[in-house]
Amino acid sequence: MGKYEFFLPKGGPRSVVEPTGEPRAGPLSPVRDGPTFDEILAGTLPAGLVRIADEAQASLKRMEVELTPHDLDCIGRGIDRLVEAGGRRSVLVGDKAVYQVDTESRTVTDADERGDAGGKLFVDIDSLVLLDGG
């Protein structure tokens, strides 16, 4: 062998995508246990299903509040706590807004700005949960 010649095992052409040049066995992407995009869009997160009523969506849009997956998860965990405690129609106080929820249907029925909620009268409510951001 010459000065710059050396032997490479399996020295044939290599693929940039698959360095071994051999086809992969199994699925192309790993199976995930987390929520799918459609579930996030529909409001389904690990804490459980959270539905947003049309009136609540209109209120959030008017307030220019966009709920993130983290926000929906916090609301879902709040609803879980209310269900465990026996709450039926409740108020969740979050960082961005105050949410009225029906725990039986797991639906946010209305939303108000957190700053404006101080002067609002909530009726037919049997429980309240202060949501922490995490």
pLDDT of residue 36 exceeding 60, the answer is yes
What is the percentage of the chain residues whose pLDDT exceeds 70?
63
What are the Cα distances from residue 78, in Å, to 7, 22, 25, 37?
64, 49, 43, 22
pLDDT given for residue 101 in this prediction: 95
Q: What does the DSSP assignment read for 9-50?
A: TT-S---SSSTT-SPPPS-SS----S--HHHHHHTEETTEE-
Total structural domains within the chain? 1
Residue 31: inside a domain, yes or no? no
Nearest to 93 by CA among 120, 76, 112, 73: 112
Residue 64 belongs to what domain range?
A: 37-130
Residue 48: inside a domain, yes or no? yes
pLDDT band at 44; cut points 50, 70, 90:
low
Least confident of 34-43, 66-75, 77-86, 125-134: 34-43
Q: Are 63 and 113 in contact (CB under 8 A)?
A: yes
Pairing of strands 51-52, 48-49: unpaired
Between residues 2 and 116, which one has the greater pLDDT? 116
Residue 13: inside a domain, yes or no? no
**Residue at token pair 């010459």:** 2
Residue 68: inside a domain, yes or no? yes
